[in-house]
Amino acid sequence: MAKEQRNMGGILGGVTRRRFGKIAGGAVIGGAVMGGPWIIKARGEETIKLGGLFHMTGDGSIWGPMMEQCMGLAVDQINADGGVMGRQLVMISEDDATSTDVVVQKGTKLVQKDGVKAMFGIVYSSVRAALAANVAGRFKVPYFYPTYWESQTSCGRYFISMGAIPNQQLDFFIPFLMEKFGPNFYCVGQDYNWPQVSIAYIEGLLQQHGGKLVGKEFVPFDQSDWSSIIQRIKGAKPNVFFPFIGGNGLIACLKQYYDFGFDGTAVAATLMDEMYVPAFEPELRKGMHCSVSYLMELDNPVNKAFVAAFKKKYGADAILNNMGEGLYDSVHVWKLAVEKAGSLDIEKTVDALGGISYNAPQGEISIDGKSNHAALHQIIAEVRADGGFTILKDFGKVAAKTDCVV
């Protein structure tokens, strides 16, 4: 059931460190119906509807509640600042169930019944691709995707990439890991677009820099027993184990991995962030490495204000990650495009995206009008035993290298 939201504060519970275990175990944290748009309509004003699609259930449920919260915060802040074109925003939230079929149904409903001006959300590449092709492209409604992804598999005028693609996440990261740990890598990923394309990209980078992919494997989404795979990794003796495993599977894999004992083999991932680290004991998470566009610990005034507002709204120990920050940024970028266009007309809004810059919590980001891909910041960090991150390298704003043309 859709939830029309203006004010999510105090009702939708935050995704906190204490509540993480329930999410990782598959429990659902849902929102409730918030202060409704009828309050605005009673004053004779017309609201602007935005659609949010979130993995509230299914394999991606670890992320859905937090991403819904980040979009809700952006909507609330924009409304408090006067709205867009003098009108208030309404967020209509849908659970896509981490399903390609469901997301097309829910996305179609958002466009045809609710009349949303833009759509936001999703983590899994398969679900994203279904929405981009079958809803955004079909009905010509802009869709902002805030998650890092494999690139190329979704392109088009109405698809806006707000997450890092391989050149942004890996061009710096792989040489760094090779220099620090050694040239031999072993990659394991779930059998779909993101791991397949990303691992192929890593293999190319390793060859370019004199390294070697000593093993790669693809597994089903419901993989639960990792013992045979771990034995093969152990036998290959890589310097770096680099998993591309989403959802709760990563937690199970790495916990079993550490049970076997891998002295001398480092763990690195683009997926290791604030949402995953609390699931591991201090002795396990210490020393993991990640490449991301955003961390809550970034020391700049915009991020400090963002984190403070998020914690004030959802609880002192509420946590978020770069997908949530990317979603928050996406709503603000859409707002800037509307204001630049001077119109809520969708075609004019999409035309206005090119060249837009936004001072995001991660730092300034900008949209390339030729591809509708965001130039994003990129950092390499090491996980501490206390669950925090030590930033080792900050490469500033990095442009997306893509063949996508809008």
Residue 41 has pLDDT above 60, yes or no: no
Mean pLDDT of the chain: 90
Question: Does residue 357 contact residue 365 with C-beta atoms inside 8 Å?
Answer: yes
C-alpha distances out from residue 287 to 141, 150, 183, 383, 398, Å: 43, 26, 18, 5, 25
Structure tokens at 386: 């206390």
Question: Does residue 7 contact residue 77 with C-beta atoms inside 8 Å?
Answer: no
Segment 31-49 mean pLDDT:
52
Pairwise CA distance, residues 119 & 396, whole Å: 28
Number of C-beta neighbours around residue 282 at 10 A: 12
One-letter amino acid of 135: V
What does the pLDDT look like over 369-385, one tens digit per residue? 999 999 999 999 999 99
C-alpha distances out from residue 163 to 120, 169, 323, 330, 367, Å: 12, 10, 7, 10, 11
Q: Distance between the two ends of the chain, CA-based, in angstroms?
A: 33
Burial pattern 351-384, b for ≥16 Cβ within 10 A else e, equals bbbbebebebbbbebbbbeebbbbbbbbbbbbbe
Q: What's the number of CA atoms in the CB half-sphere (13 Å) around residue 93?
A: 27
Residue 241 has pLDDT above 60, yes or no: yes
C-alpha distances out from residue 257 to 228, 232, 249, 260, 400, Å: 11, 11, 12, 6, 33
Residue 356 is predicted with a pLDDT of 98
Question: Does residue 129 contact residue 159 with C-beta atoms inside 8 Å?
Answer: no
Q: Which residues, at least 6 apart from 91, have a Cβ–Cβ distance to it below 8 Å?
A: 4, 5, 6, 49, 50, 51, 52, 71, 72, 75
Segment 163-179 mean pLDDT:
98
Pairwise CA distance, residues 103 & 216, whole Å: 30
What does the pLDDT look like over 302-328, one tens digit per residue? 999 999 999 999 999 999 999 999 999
Residue 37 is predicted with a pLDDT of 40
Segment 292-298 mean pLDDT:
97
Closest CA to 274 of 397, 381, 122: 381
- Choice between 288 and 43, residue whose per-residue pLDDT is larger: 288
One-letter amino acid of 275: M
Question: Does residue 278 contact residue 294 with C-beta atoms inside 8 Å?
Answer: no
Give the torsion sign (CA, 227, 230, 232, 234): negative
Residue 23 has pLDDT above 70, yes or no: no
Residue 307 is predicted with a pLDDT of 98
Structure tokens at 42: 């009673």
Chain-centroid distance, C-alpha 102: 19
What does the pLDDT look like over 56-91, one tens digit per residue? 999 899 999 999 999 999 999 999 999 999 999 999
Q: What share of the chain is helix, strand, coil (3-state, %, to 5)?
A: 40, 20, 40
Residue with tokens 């004030």: 312
Residue 45 is predicted with a pLDDT of 65
Q: What phi and psi values does residue 188 have, to the nearest 5 degrees?
A: -130, 130
One-letter amino acid of 283: E
Q: What phi and psi values does residue 191 have, to the nearest 5 degrees?
A: -85, 75
Residue 247 is predicted with a pLDDT of 79
Residue 32 has pLDDT above 50, yes or no: no
Question: Does residue 6 contact residue 90 with C-beta atoms inside 8 Å?
Answer: yes
Strand duo 357-360 + 363-368: pairing: antiparallel
Structure tokens at 10: 């105090």
One-letter amino acid of 63: W
Question: Looking at residue 318, what DSSP letter applies?
Answer: B
The pTM of this model reads 0.89
Question: Which H or E element spans position 377?
Answer: strand 373-383
